[in-house]
Amino acid sequence: MKKILLPAFISLLAVPALISVPLASAKTSTMAMGDSFCISVIGQAQKEIAPDFADITLSIESVDSDIANAKDRTFAIFDKAVGALTENGIVRESIVVENYSSYPNYDYSCGKNLIGYYSNLTFTYKADDLSQIKSTIDAVTDAGVTNVQSIRYGISNEEEIYNMALTEAIENAKAKAKSVFGRDDVMLVGLEEESVYYSSSLYRYYDSSLESQDMVGKVTIQARVRAKATLGYTSV
């Protein structure tokens, strides 16, 4: 059983439920806005959702005493990997070479002696069906791919989900302002989108456990807004 420790980068969002994160309190400040004072509020919300595709990054490393042979061997393995991926349902256009490099390999145990050349090619492909991940990784490693670098999960309707989180963040800011004022006739002015946070990485072993969808993490996105809140003032 192959075991390769790899970082699976989870990109994007999460649960259909709003998770509002209480901000250190709505900051009060006295500002002249007509005849009313205003406070500064921050609203935020996040969503978590199961990903529906994955971008897999792999690399091929070859070494030879001749730099041309090292390059030819690397690209021969890449061609075999492309064939294996397309046979397993991966769209050819989604397979992209990200980087190629070659460099000398020296032995420094007794001076500096050239002992060969490394050739390294990095490429990515997109799995539109998460059930393809294990079978395609097995196929490319059998074809000679030497490293599985990362799996980055994503969702196809990212913008739609983010806009939902943004709307909920605005409502979260308004709810805080209502709580501070103790009234419902609160208006938000000078609304600004402050930041967006995407989920962090998750490390796991690549082995037969990838067959289980329980191993696939959620994709998370967070929206955060800042605004002034006041009473009896027309919102901007």
CATH number of residue 206's parent domain = 3.30.110
Crossing angle of helices 67-87 and 132-142, in 10° steps, is 150
| Each residue's pLDDT tens digit, 125-151 | 999 998 889 999 999 999 999 999 998
Residue 216 clears pLDDT 90, i.e. is over it: no
**Single pTM value for the model:** 0.64
Domain co-membership, 62 together with 133:
yes
Single out the residue of 61, 59, 124, 116 nearest to residue 96, CA to CA.
Answer: 124
Residue 100 has pLDDT above 70, yes or no: yes
Cα-based distances in Å from 31 to 26, 175, 201, 228: 15, 20, 42, 10
**Domain boundary at 97, 122, 154, which?**
154
Count of the separate structural domains present in the chain: 2
User: How do beta strands 36-49 and 27-33 pair?
Assistant: antiparallel
| Over residues 108-131, mean pLDDT | 91
| Structural domain boundaries, residue 79 | 53-154
The reported pLDDT for the residue numbered 154 is 87
Separation CA 123–CA 136 (nearest Å): 14
Cα 231 to Cα 37, 39, 155, 177, distances in angstroms: 8, 10, 40, 10
Task: Determine what percent of the chain is predicted with pLDDT higher than 90.
Answer: 48
Residues 191, 227: one domain?
A: yes
CATH number at residue 133: 3.30.70.2970
Backbone angles phi, psi at 173, to 5 degrees: -65, -40
Q: Are residues 150 and 58 in the same domain?
A: yes
pLDDT for the residue numbered 196? 67
- Tell whether 196 and 220 lie within a shared domain: yes
Last residue of a domain, one of 113, 137, 154: 154
User: What is the mean predicted confidence (pLDDT) over 85-113?
Assistant: 93
Contacts of 35 (CB under 8 A, 6+ apart): none
pLDDT at 13: 34
Do 68 and 123 fall within a single domain?
Answer: yes
